Structure 1
Amino acid sequence: MGVIGLGYVGLPLAMRFAEVGIKVIGFDIDPAKVEALNLGRSYICHISPQRIQIARAVRKFEATTDFSRVKETEAILICVPTPLTRHREPDLSYVMNTGKTIAEFLRPGQLIVLESTTYPGTTEEDLRKVLEEGSGLKAGQDFYLAFSPEREDPGNPASDVALIPKVVGGYTKACLERACALYSKAVKKVVPVSSCRVAEAAKLLENIFRSVNIALVNELKMVFDAMGIDIWEVIEAAKTKPFGFMPFYPGPGLGGHCIPIDPFYLTWKAREYDVHTRFIELAGEINSYMPFYVVSKVGEALNAMGKPFNGSKILVLGLAYKADVDDDRESPSYVLIDLLRRRGASVDYYDPYIPVVKPSRKHAHLAGMRSIEWNQKAIEKYDVVLISTAHSCVNYVQLAEWARCIVDTRNVMVRFQTKPGQVWKA
């Protein structure tokens, strides 16, 4: 089988199938990734080099940039990005270009499964069209077509590809049966649904559910703060209710490839049916405003010290979008850095998982920026340390000893002894 796109979704999936004895060819357009994998190296912190080396040693995994080798496979899983354009509309170029590239190498009997999150109809309409046009074959007759949404949770040690139920929708009944048969070899529980569109919608529901609930607690954070009430204490009290409540936590903004992006795929598609997704869009507005709110709290902390933004020195602690990962996609930390610099502050960052900022489409101007070293002399020079990501490996006892002022967006400092007036919650 083949896995196209060897990132945070594709690589764990490829490793799982290799570990159950299926030979996997990994495809990627990045020669550096392909070379690293073939040498037994990992570029994702939660995928150990040992897993890759074992898969290589038993000849169950190899990586390539040669997409003509698609014809060697019986099944292809497409795990490529589905970002938004600069106008916040779906960008299916990676999916469509992948479809066009592999279409000329398709042969009868192959299974094609899209795993990338997208709006309902992408698999049955958009991807099917490019595959059929490029191959001369018909989905459901000559080759099998299905959709199965990824459910990766980077940084969560309990997240195991084998144990997370796999939702699968097929273009036809035969397509569904073939896709379920494949995934059942690597995943403990497969959840078949009636169509690709249902499977696509299920993934969007999962992510929209998180987006709107996070927006709710973010808004309540601002409301309760104005009332002098600690939102974190409120949540701790509320979650003692054994039914009818699920805790969500506020933060400096949404990050990662899913939650900040996927709801807008449905918003865009809904317009085709003259339906307005007001609730989803409102949640997006609230979550997008969070970095601005955090910066206002930094301003309050500086004012209390008699310092303006202009000329102040600020350290952003954590560049990854969540704790204990090296994934910085859509991280609100980048927005915070830009907002603080616009106000005249000198801004650095510390993140042991991301020693240097890599080039990206959205934050190309920050490429090459490096994490500072963690030591007392370095930390003491900053007017404010802004905790954006609460990595567990950070020594917060030292931070409390060394930092003049801490603005905490993750409530991490509540567990440590701090000085009066040193910590500002945001």
Structure 2
Amino acid sequence: MPADLAVIGLGHHGLPLAQAATAAGIDTIGYDTDPRPVAELAAGRSPVDGSLTAPEIRRMLAGGFRPTTNTAELGRVRTAVLCAPTPLGPDRTLDLTAVTDAARALATRLRPHTTVLLESPVPPGTTEGLLREVLEAGSGLRAGRDFHLAYSPGRLDPGSRTHGFAGTPKVIGGLTPACTESAAAFYGRLTDKVVRARGPREAETVKLLETNFRHVNIALVNEMAVLCHELGVDLWDVIRCAETKPFGFQAFRPGPGVGGHGAPVDTIGAHRPLRLVELAGQVNERMPQYVVQRAATLLNEHGKSARGARILLLGITYKPDLPDRQGSPADEIARRLMDLGAAVSYHDPHVPDWRVRELPVPRADSLYEAAAHADLTVLLQHHRTYDLQGLSVKAQLLLDTRGATPGGAAHRL
């Protein structure tokens, strides 16, 4: 059965796109080489990363969305969007294996006049280089002449109630002006504003800049958190005052580490490294160790040792009110605390099971009882369900790594 759109890659990025397209009345299929997420989605169940809820999945299915592993479906669409994951490899460059595999699957079914879009984070030059070569070699068609090819950086704020798909501008860079306009016509059905980049390289570099901007600024406030603790300065009050400046400042806040799917890229293949991004990565990667250091110091100040201490970790996801644990610093913090001999338990309303080093971490059923029993409670993620005022009363000792507790109610990072 023909469809208007194929979303290739049904992960945290592809699913919200498919959701937006289905809601806009676009006949959409979702393709993935892994049969497990396809089966889960077809059954109306939420994916593991929690990018969409089960009711949202069921609404998509009712709206005509069809998940599939059948490559034949890819030859019946007008538009195909590649949303394959690109994790950091051992050399800290983006691994394009999944993008290449997705492109090969599409190439065998690619028809003339199809619009092919890439949204995965990739090094500049990938769309007109690797992707174009794979598609042309597998299809016998020529990009820019027989089919349209463009790049649009994915822009998602998971769990946000204010930054939805329609209200977030889409940047587009096509191989040719006609490719750009074809992509703009598609995205114009999903979003209120389309921004045309000069070309695919510029559009690809937009994603690079946006991701690195976040990590560099988080690294700055993470270093400020360490400094302000040493100086006895309330950093959260500093940020509160600084963000009143109407120009030249954007507020970022420190935390126990940096999670999420957008990894900072400090080197682009053989090109020169981005030294500031490299340094920011080092700063952010030290934060879990710093949290553990602060935890041990607090215990010592209260006459207790980390060895044998009962430590409760609150919120182990990378973002509030979501079950997604991608890149969450909680795993490293738990490992380091265990290495010190601490007895670690956790509470998170969105994560029913948690394993560290292949061993289950005890889950607290009653938050207040667990906090009262623990020698130290560490808030790693502030979910809306947490009553921090009440928690600060119940907990023997509370370390707040998010600055979310009322002033004076806890020890802040």
TM norm structure 2: 0.93
Partner of 2:286, secondary structure, is helix
Work out whether residues 344 and 362 of structure 2, in 8 Å CA contact, stay in contact via their aligned partners in 1: no
The amino acid that maps onto 1:332 is: P
Quote the offset at 1:306 in angstroms.
1.8
Work out whether residues 124 and 202 of structure 2, in 8 Å CA contact, stay in contact via their aligned partners in 1: yes
Work out whether residues 354 and 371 of structure 1, in 8 Å CA contact, stay in contact via their aligned partners in 2: no
1:393 correspondence with 2:397: no
1:373 to 365, 369, 372: 365
Quote the offset at 1:61 in angstroms.
0.9
1:407 corresponding residue in structure 2: 399
2:83 to 76, 79, 82: 79
Quote the offset at 1:193 in angstroms.
0.9
Partner of 1:74, secondary structure, is strand
Work out whether residues 16 and 51 of structure 2, in 8 Å CA contact, stay in contact via their aligned partners in 1: no
1:186 corresponding residue in structure 2: 190
Q: Deviations for 1:256-303, whole angstroms, at most 9, x for unmatched residues?
A: 011xx1x32xx321x623x23211111111111111111110011110
Partner of 2:30, secondary structure, is strand
Quote the offset at 1:23 in angstroms.
0.4
Work out whether residues 401 and 412 of structure 2, in 8 Å CA contact, stay in contact via their aligned partners in 1: yes
Q: Show the 5 A alignment for 1:43-192.
A: 43=47, 45=50, 47-58=52-63, 60-192=64-196
CA distance in 2, matches of 1:97, 1:356: 32
Partner of 1:413, secondary structure, is coil
Work out whether residues 8 and 152 of structure 1, in 8 Å CA contact, stay in contact via their aligned partners in 2: no
Q: Deviations for 1:149-207, whole angstroms, at most 9, x for unmatched residues?
A: 11110121112111110001111112111111111111111111111110010111111
1:21 correspondence with 2:25: yes
1:348 correspondence with 2:345: yes
Work out whether residues 90 and 268 of structure 1, in 8 Å CA contact, stay in contact via their aligned partners in 2: no
2:270 corresponding residue in structure 1: 272
Work out whether residues 385 and 403 of structure 1, in 8 Å CA contact, stay in contact via their aligned partners in 2: yes
Quote the offset at 1:233 in angstroms.
1.1
Work out whether residues 30 and 65 of structure 2, in 8 Å CA contact, stay in contact via their aligned partners in 1: yes
The amino acid that maps onto 1:306 is: G
Moved over 6 A (4+): none
The amino acid that maps onto 1:323 is: P
1:241 corresponding residue in structure 2: 245
Q: 1:125 to 1:351 in 2, by over 3 A?
A: same
The amino acid that maps onto 1:424 is: H
CA distance in 1, matches of 2:65, 2:382: 35
Q: After the TM superposition, which of the residue ranges 39-48 and 115-124 deviates more from structure 2?
A: 39-48
CA distance in 2, matches of 1:139, 1:162: 28
The amino acid that maps onto 2:412 is: K
Q: 1:142 to 1:52 in 2, by over 3 A?
A: same
1:287 corresponding residue in structure 2: 284
CA distance in 2, matches of 1:204, 1:387: 31
Q: 1:371 to 1:93 in 2, by over 3 A?
A: farther
Give the unaligned 5+ runs of structure 2. none
Quote the offset at 1:381 in angstroms.
2.5
1:424 corresponding residue in structure 2: 411
1:335 corresponding residue in structure 2: 332
CA distance in 1, matches of 2:142, 2:359: 44
Quote the offset at 1:387 in angstroms.
0.8
Q: 1:332 to 1:375 in 2, by over 3 A?
A: closer
CA distance in 2, matches of 1:375, 1:250: 24
Q: Deviations for 1:105-164, whole angstroms, at most 9, x for unmatched residues?
A: 112121111101121011111111111222222211222111111111012111211111
Quote the offset at 1:372 in angstroms.
2.5
The amino acid that maps onto 1:54 is: R
Quote the offset at 1:57 in angstroms.
2.6
Quote the offset at 1:29 in angstroms.
3.0
CA distance in 1, matches of 2:90, 2:309: 31
Q: Show the 5 A alignment for 1:4-19.
A: 4-19=8-23
Quote the offset at 1:38 in angstroms.
2.3
Work out whether residues 352 and 371 of structure 1, in 8 Å CA contact, stay in contact via their aligned partners in 2: no
Partner of 2:133, secondary structure, is helix
Quote the offset at 1:354 in angstroms.
1.4
Q: 1:370 to 1:171 in 2, by over 3 A?
A: farther
Work out whether residues 312 and 370 of structure 2, in 8 Å CA contact, stay in contact via their aligned partners in 1: no
Work out whether residues 384 and 403 of structure 1, in 8 Å CA contact, stay in contact via their aligned partners in 2: yes
Partner of 1:399, secondary structure, is helix
Work out whether residues 357 and 366 of structure 1, in 8 Å CA contact, stay in contact via their aligned partners in 2: no
Work out whether residues 215 and 281 of structure 2, in 8 Å CA contact, stay in contact via their aligned partners in 1: yes
CA distance in 2, matches of 1:165, 1:397: 38
Give the unaligned 5+ runs of structure 1. none
Partner of 1:414, secondary structure, is coil
Q: 1:4 to 1:402 in 2, by over 3 A?
A: same
Work out whether residues 12 and 51 of structure 2, in 8 Å CA contact, stay in contact via their aligned partners in 1: no
Identical positions, percent: 40
> What is the total number of aligned residue pairs between the two structures?
408
CA distance in 1, matches of 2:94, 2:255: 25
Q: After the TM superposition, which of the residue ranges 32-41 and 138-147 deviates more from structure 2?
A: 32-41
Quote the offset at 1:7 in angstroms.
2.0
